Amino acid sequence: MSETLTRESEIREALRAVIDPEIGMNIIELGLVRELDVQPDSLHLVMILTTPFCPYGPQMLEQTRVVAEQASGLPTTIEVGTELWDPSMMEEGAGGDWGLF
């Protein structure tokens, strides 16, 4: 496994600590992190929210930035993607608690 992929995996694992307070699941399980771009001197994430007007959105975005920055040791930016979330984006098996899959 390349160093970049290993680093990306470590960052994704650290991001499991960021929980969507309304749903009670982490942002990785929910599939909210759509892109993760690790560069030598920066980290950029594209993230979506479960609803466009999620009341916890700003808090989750900032928590994601802080956790990603701590895990990577790199200045981190987050872009809010325009893609609409749906339950099919969840990790395999994660929707079982909701009776979705």
Digit-coded pLDDT (tens) for 65-98:
999 999 999 999 999 999 999 999 999 876 655 5
| Average pLDDT of the residues of the chain | 90
CATH architecture of 3-84: 2-Layer Sandwich (3.30)
Give the confidence band of 52 by pLDDT, cuts at 50, 70, 90.
Answer: confident
pLDDT at residue 46 is higher than 80: yes
Across 3-18, average pLDDT: 91
Q: Are 43 and 75 in contact (CB under 8 A)?
A: yes
* 54, 101 Cβ separation under 8 angstroms: no
pTM: 0.88
Give the pLDDT band (50/70/90) at residue 101. Answer: very low
